[in-house]
Chains A and B, each alone.
Chain A
């Protein structure tokens, strides 16, 4: 039994900003007002914004204390399935703050933005290489935004062929953003059930495919952590029916250098730079969700495109078939810089990263088998799914297990997703966790499973060691209080 890492600590309380503000304080160095005061029509001027006055030290202490109530990847392991919470390299953070990038204005003439344009162009090339696709747009701001872009591309493709279709096949293991993105584009999601092996069968797709189906959205590996073995056949069926195959690339961390999505029938896919390519998650973004496509879809990509002519880069708006724009400018440059820096740092070693991610997940699967019930007893990819059915006998749920793991110093895995597994506990360690940290996690899981048998109330009351305990979510939803 290894030592535990979850302890209590000196964590200070901190009020809300407006509970500590005081008139007369300021935390900002106001620039010199070196020109005359100009006239402004009184009818245009509003009331002073109701925002508290704080000194710089007030602000610094406030946010420093708040940060101590958080748990980041830098604090400890974050085995959230389908989130790929790998280590966020600090070099990447530093390079994104270089003045030449941070202060770059997007509307300067191209000759003044050659560095930014070159970086984006090189990143596009690298993403094509990783995915086996032909062209890229870096514009979408996150994975879901990439999915919407993909749906818009599919829509434009069918429109250009003179026919509009109404349905998109979506597996029952799909992330909620998949049907939501399809619906935003006016498509009706057509669910397809996964087989007992946890993957989509060729026949199931064959049965659904007709000339109303615009395409299929498929996550590979899927959210059960399993490789969709029939994907080549499924793609062939969809293509034969005139549809397109959209790949949700959220789980790319399992297959870099092992499978190229472009080689297995995928026409359009998105990547999550804030998952696979190590950009940090930021407590909820910003992310970046580039979309990679095959040549025949390239004409529909959002504008502008980045053009290289000799050694000069420029932005081209010259394309009448483009779907237009999904963000005002060119994408989340601040996130792209981090992904690009990571790709340069790793190079072909990205393949090793995927292999070790899969190694770590399989190691956890073997060691936790029997501790929790394993949903699919098959080789997994970079994540594996357990359930609470063993613990349910003591009336202990996945939620309780998750909350108790916090007391042991771990962020819980993903819970209650995918929906096809009752009480799902989805664990993705990523390749940046060492064997020692995995063993600590395994020990913690074993301890929690034991407690579930011997003293379940400890789980039901967890977490106990955190500054805050379980929240009353019913109150928050019945009487929403969304501002102070």
Chain B
């Protein structure tokens, strides 16, 4: 077996030097009663070629581009990933390395993550960014826990326009605590409504997502102002990091903590994971931050180097008093994001973001021309909500037969939004693709 280098002779020689007669004797410290019924009834072993075939068959049963045109976002986005990125991410010194606890043999990972921290921080306009957490949803939960730690207040407010799955994760994380999670309503423009906020006291944080789940860009300046007036911390979330190639950053809007999903930055969708939890805050809160931090320093020869720092916040030192329990994070995904941002540069991010926006606006305008309702007037980035006529959902199967997936039905998330769908257009769709989608919609409606 190619992963097991021991020959029979090796095993014999080693057993002799240990003083055991066979491999089973090595387990003499395991009580007999623990060894019962231990047989592994698993298929295999399969050859490389059989395994490859099995998994290829499974992969072929999933609908993906270019065969399918999928206009879905809602937390997972289809973006082009340059070959150079995939190639670099395959370097085994990055892939097969451990967490950089021994800095002298990990300067590659450490400098790369320091660069990621810097680039992600610049994208979001925030002072300190950590080395990553798991995903946007758990990042939000950690951000709210951090706000509670800092302020010592007992309530957090979460906009209902934050991704429903993110809100679910927050609820799950907060369940065992006696902190209260309050839901904030939305207005008819598709934005978070903070008008009732003055009535709530003891608020540790107010959190909103921008662009929000309806695709609408929130007025972060105004929301931040109201939040601070209320004496709470302003926590902003996002699911589409690319938006900040174009939009005003959360940092500029006064975010105390900015967190969200970085999958758009060079990480493939991969059925939802692994993702990239980007987590950033004001410098003054850094000692309350969860997750790893890479810092710059000097080595004994005075040469610049990088090292994990402020580790006394973390579980391996602080144990039950740690800022979080996180250990392994999503380092390789953070590396992908750094390579992605480095390849595009600020100008490329700006241009790519514009292309996303313009294509989404193009689709929006065409659908409006077909008489479809765009229920929310707020500005959007690359996702927006459309209200289709009642017969559409039955007919969208015909679009699917044409291998077009026309957005995400909203009803299961927001029961009042029957026949509404969330459509996403990224740079991966050509003008012809979008025209074909509109043609298909037209055909379904005229039936």
Contact = CB atoms under 8 A, between A and B. Distances in A.
Chain A binding surface, main DSSP class: loop
B317 to A, nearest CB: 7
A330 B221 CA distance: 34
A66 B273 contact: no
Count chain A CB atoms within 10 A of each CB in B112, B270, B271 and give the residue with the most: B271
B136 interface: yes
B26 A359 contact: yes
Given A29-B82, A48-B346, A329-B76, A17 B115 contact: yes
Given A38-B357, A101-B270, A335-B274, A323 B175 contact: yes
B122 A284 contact: no
B128 A62 contact: no
A480 B408 CA distance: 44
Given A72-B93, A101-B62, A280-B96, A349 B45 contact: yes
B388 to A, nearest CB: 16
A435 B6 contact: yes
Interface stretch (B151-159, B186-194, B247-255, B436-444): B247-255
A279 B145 CA distance: 30
Contacts of B129: 482-483
Contacts of A87: 3
B137 A325 contact: yes
Contact of B342 (A47, A59, A435): A59
A105 to B, nearest CB: 5
A381 B301 CA distance: 41
A396 interface: no
Interface stretch (B13-21, B199-207, B223-231, B369-377): B13-21
Interface string A305-326: 0000000000000000001111
Contacts of A185: 176
A73 B93 CA distance: 8
Nearest to B177: A186
A351 to B, nearest CB: 6
A26 interface: yes
A417 B104 CA distance: 20
Contacts of B394: none
Contact of A353 (B4, B14, B70, B319): B4
28 contacts: A16-B111, A26-B345, A35-B431, A46-B249, A47-B249, A48-B350, A49-B249, A51-B342, A67-B91, A69-B111, A75-B96, A93-B90, A103-B78, A115-B60, A130-B40, A281-B97, A284-B113, A324-B169, A328-B138, A332-B273, A334-B270, A335-B273, A350-B40, A359-B6, A359-B23, A406-B102, A470-B104, A482-B309
B30 to A, nearest CB: 5
Interface in A169-205: 175-177, 179-186, 188-189
Nearest to A14: B111
Interface in A40-54: 40-41, 43-54
A402 B431 CA distance: 59
Interface string B101-136: 011111111011111011101110101110110111
A333 B60 contact: no
Interface in A276-317: 278, 280-288, 302
B332 A472 contact: no
A238 interface: no
A122 to B, nearest CB: 9
B445 interface: no
Given A51-B342, A74-B92, A480-B310, A100 B324 contact: no
> Nearest 4 pairs between A and B by C-beta?
A347-B44, A329-B272, A100-B59, A284-B331
Contacts of A63: 88, 91, 94, 112, 339
Contacts of B99: 281, 283-285
A45 B248 contact: yes
B3 to A, nearest CB: 6
Nearest to A54: B342
B446 interface: no
Interface string B267-301: 01111111100000000001000001111111111
Contacts of A45: 246-248
